[in-house]
Amino acid sequence: MSTEPTLVELDSRHRAALGRLARHARYLAEVDDDGVITLTPAAVVSALEATLISRRPDLLRPSERSKLVAVKADRRHGG
């Protein structure tokens, strides 16, 4: 599903309200060298699941394996 570009303005604390744009509760955020911010829907797995996946990646379909990203929790935001 594609939408028309929507202007998103930041508040004084540099927060953006995604409102109707967001379809998921969690996203991985990446910023490229040009300042483009990309949000990709994310899922959180338990430490046990992460260990299992790292030991047996063959349990996942190849398309799922390519989407795996390890992210260190940001302590400032309750992670």
Q: What is the pLDDT of residues 21-39, one digit of tens each?
A: 999 998 989 999 999 999 9
Query: What distance in Å separates the CA atoms of residue 48 and residue 2, rounded to the nearest whole number?
Result: 36
Overall number of domains in the chain? 1
Is residue 58, in this structure, part of any structural domain at all? yes
Question: Which domain does 34 fall in, by range?
Answer: 19-77
- For the entire predicted model, the pTM comes to 0.62
Q: Which of 38-42, 58-62, 63-67, 70-74 has the lowest mean pLDDT?
A: 70-74
Is residue 34, in this structure, part of any structural domain at all? yes
Query: What distance in Å separates the CA atoms of residue 74 and residue 79, rounded to the nearest whole number?
Result: 5
Of 36, 37, 20, the closest CA to residue 28 belongs to 37
Contact 28, 40 (CB under 8 A): yes
Classified as helix, coil or strand, 16 is: strand
